[in-house]
Amino acid sequence: MNIERPQQSAATPASVLRDLSATHATNAVVGFIFAASGPVAIILAVGTRGGLSEPQLASWVFGAFVVNGLVSIAFSLVYRQPLTFFWTIPGTVLVGPALTHLPFAEIVGAFLATGVLMLALGLSGLVRRCMDAVPMPIVMGMVAGVFLQFGLAWIGAFGEDLPIAASMTATHLALTAVPSLARRVPPLIAALVVGLAVAGASGSYAPDLAAGAVLAAPLLQVPRFSAQAMVELVVPLAITVLLVQNGQGIAVLTASGHRPPANAIAASCGAASIVAALVGTVSTCLTGPVNAIISANGSRETQYAAGVLVGILAVAFGLFAPLFTRLMLAAPHAFIATLAGLAMLKVLQTAFATAFGGPRALGALVAFLVTVSGIAVLNIGAPFWGLVFGYAVSRLLERETA
């Protein structure tokens, strides 16, 4: 077996309660809010354009949070690392065009086949070998290109809604500048509260709590297998999850001093994807942004507790998906953009320092530029091609750093 064994005994509920500091709890809440806002909107936008019904969309959201939340709890406890899993956002976008000309049952069949492929690759040990072959600066160049959008969206929020963006940013910076105060009042939570207060006072945040259902009602999807769906979706989805999405998550966790179990992660993504597909949910991945947020600060040895809390919040969100989705999607875009941007500042700083602060800087730059370009070839997104071209340029022109 090529599955990595935990280096220490699994955490218990008592140890989670002991290790869950205010910093970890804050990071977990912010990371969860990130996952439950913009990414959910992407599911709803893609599914609506593809003709999915409201029950099908609610079932998709249920699987995305409940299945992946349970996996996050299990992995964070067993490996004592902040290992949180959600669904592939680029993969969701990739599925969008397929929904316009393929029956949903065939797309569900492709989800299942992708899960089987990822499970087999994880058990084979190939995933770890592939990731170890690509130098960390090049991977972090790709990560910097992906996460750059969050920093730019934060700046753009000032033009979109100045009161919200300015008040949240000023609150965060003021508290961060006084470390003794920041330990008692987490800057991100303070920024969140101030942003909601400003949005509520202006009338831009007024969710309708009484409208629609409250509890989720997942639908069991019967898959159908077709050659067209297999060719169009399976390989691009598997590459997107295993090399791009998982690569981001593993890179940010490695930069924070962790040793993520790449083969176990790949195999679990495959197994979880098989289960999630049965309720119509796109493939599972190790999330980059959320893991970056919860591993950005606080004691490294106890960051796993934040991963557990994210998983618990995800399961609760999935069970009450209709209600919580209304709450999150009612928030102004500038609020979400500012919160995510502030949470990503340290992550971006680490990504740029790792990518360009040492050897392989040229390859990292190429990976960064290709990723930022947004180019897609063969239905595979720019982050993958950033890794390919960054690695190729580095091998050709930076041989002396090998």
Q: Is residue 193 part of a domain?
A: no
- Which of the four pLDDT bands, split at 50, 70 and 90, describes residue 340? confident
pLDDT at 325 over 70: no
pLDDT score for 183? 73
Which pLDDT does position 50 carry in this prediction? 84
Q: pLDDT tens digits, residue range 20-72?
A: 998 899 899 888 987 886 677 778 778 877 888 878 888 899 999 999 999 99
In this predicted structure, the answer to whether residue 133 has a pLDDT above a threshold of 80 is no
Closest CA to 256 of 83, 117, 115, 46: 83
pLDDT recorded at residue 383: 79
pLDDT at 66: 95
User: What single string gives the DSSP state of each residue in 305-358?
Assistant: HHHHHHHHHHHHHHHTHHHHHHHHHTS-HHHHHHHHHHHHHHHHHHHHHHHHSS
Q: Is residue 116 part of a domain?
A: yes
| Residue percentage of the chain with pLDDT more than 90 | 38
Rg of the chain taking only CA atoms, in angstroms: 20
Q: Above 60 in pLDDT, residue 401? A: no
- Which helix H or strand E contains 158, and what residues bound it? helix 136-160
Domain-located, residue 381:
no
pTM of the shown model = 0.76
176 part of a folded domain: no
Whether 190 and 299 have beta carbons less than 8 Å apart is answered as no
- 198-248, pLDDT tens digit by residue? 988 888 777 766 666 678 778 899 999 988 888 888 887 888 888 778 988
Can you give the pLDDT at residue 354?
A: 84
**Rounded CA gap, 80 and 82, in Å?**
7
CA distances from 87 to 13, 73, 269 (A): 26, 15, 9
**Number of independent structural domains in the chain:** 1
State the residue range of the domain holding 98.
13-147+155-162+205-335
Q: Read off the pLDDT of residues 137-163 as tens digits, 9 standing for 90 and up.
A: 888 888 788 778 878 888 999 998 899
pLDDT per residue as tens digits for the range 70-83: 999 999 999 999 99
387 domain residue, yes or no: no
Residue 273 has pLDDT above 90, yes or no: yes
User: 165-174, 183-192, 303-312: which has the minimum mean pLDDT?
Assistant: 183-192
Measured in degrees and rounded to the nearest 5, phi and psi for residue 83 equal -110, 95
Candidate from 103-112, 115-124, 320-329, 360-369 with smallest mean pLDDT: 320-329
Whether residue 45 lies inside any domain: the answer is yes
Residue type, 310: V
Residue 178 lies in a domain: no
The pLDDT assigned to 39 comes to: 77
Is the per-residue pLDDT at 402 higher than 60? no
Q: Which of the four pLDDT bands, split at 50, 70 and 90, describes residue 328?
A: low
Report the pLDDT value the prediction gives residue 312, as an integer from 0 to 100: 96
Examine residue 53 and state whether it is found in any structural domain, yes or no: yes
Mean pLDDT across the chain, nearest whole number? 86
pLDDT score recorded for residue 314 = 95
CA distance 13 to 73: 11
For residue 219, which amino acid is it?
Answer: L
- Structure confidence at residue 105 (pLDDT): 93
